[in-house]
Amino acid sequence: MEEVVDLFGGIDEQDNYDESIPKNENYYIAETLKLIKDTNDFPLFIYSMIKTLLSKRDILSEAQIKDIAKTLNIKPEVKEVIKIKEKIVYKKRKSKLNNHDDY
């Protein structure tokens, strides 16, 4: 087994190769695209990846969250609420005559 590993360059060289690649935005975009390609466009796998990534949404800014919502075409759900306010009607009472002497 060791001879086969030696023929193909060994495991240690592959680990060093990964460390030599700068991990910037483009690296992570390429890795994500590679993951999507590896899933063979199965919706369940892509759904699972997006759901897992969005579980860390608390570290994103509001602008980033709005951008993601715009990309996913998420619109706020508008519910129509009808409030009926009944007018309270009091019975008309007869005015009382002032029978007391005010003077």
- Per-residue pLDDT tens digits for 3-29: 555 555 555 544 445 677 778 888 888
Contacts of 49 (CB under 8 A, 6+ apart): 35, 36, 39
Other beta carbons within 10 angstroms of residue 34's beta carbon come to 10
pTM higher than the cut 0.85? no
- pLDDT one-digit tens code per residue, 28-63: 888 888 888 888 778 888 888 888 888 988 998 999
Per-domain residue ranges of the chain: 1-38, 40-75
